[in-house]
Amino acid sequence: MSFPDKRLAARLVLGPMAAMALVAAVVSCSSDDSSSVGAVAAGSCVEVGDNTADAMKATVGDCSSAKSNYRIVRVGADCAADNAAFNGTVGDAKNTLCLAPNFAEGSCYADAGKRPAKAVDCTAAGASFKVVKRIDGQTDELLCGMDATQFRTVPDPKTTFCMAKP
């Protein structure tokens, strides 16, 4: 003897549940999101501790901290010309990031070309510039004043870094 109405009821209940489970699995496994990877996301800040080309290391930090010297602009490769390229580990995860400066006023850095600059003591032999003034909320190099010999502006969030030799 067959009970077709019970099979139909099971199909009506289990079918949509299986479809929802499939959609959830596809969404959670999608790796095409270029704005975040794990705990690393665009807009977050990192402290770059090692900027060696083959062994870059960073930790996620608070953007208001002087130690968090870079803000993540983009998770992934193909950085804009004015962003530093990071290819290394953040925490325990391997990441490729595009970074914009989040330098602290009064701090010194060793320039590393397209790699992130490393925070160093101002008396260190490798110190190449000091941030003499940081202006949040504006991108105007004319605000730097006479003690700055170079500048860097970041569009988002609007920031002007006025720099000079250490």
DSSP 67-101: T--EEEEEESS---TTSEEEEEEETTEEEEEEEEE
More confident residue, 20 or 86: 86
| Predicted pLDDT of residue 102 | 95
Query: Which DSSP state fits 47?
Result: E
| Predicted pLDDT of residue 9 | 43
CA separation for the pair 163, 133 (Å, rounded): 7
Enter the pTM of the model.
0.72
CA separation for the pair 6, 23 (Å, rounded): 26
| Predicted pLDDT of residue 81 | 86
Task: Write out pLDDT tens, residues 115-127.
Answer: 899 899 999 999 9
Q: Per-residue pLDDT for 54 more than 80? A: no
| Predicted pLDDT of residue 8 | 42
Task: Write out pLDDT tens, residues 58-82.
Answer: 999 999 998 899 999 999 888 888 8
Whole-Å CA distances, 45 to 3, 30, 68, 114, 119: 62, 24, 6, 18, 14
- Indicate the pairing of strand 40-41 with strand 36-37: antiparallel
CA separation for the pair 121, 98 (Å, rounded): 25
More confident residue, 11 or 146: 146
60 with 39: CB under 8 angstroms?
yes
More confident residue, 105 or 35: 105
Task: Write out pLDDT tens, residues 76-113.
Answer: 888 888 899 999 999 888 999 999 999 999 999 998 88
| Predicted pLDDT of residue 77 | 81
Alpha helices of the chain — where are they, by DSSP H?
4-29
- 24 pLDDT band, cuts 50/70/90, is very low
- Indicate the pairing of strand 84-90 with strand 56-61: parallel
| Predicted pLDDT of residue 79 | 87
46 with 99: CB under 8 angstroms?
yes
More confident residue, 82 or 12: 82
99 with 86: CB under 8 angstroms?
yes
Q: Per-residue pLDDT for 131 more than 70? A: yes
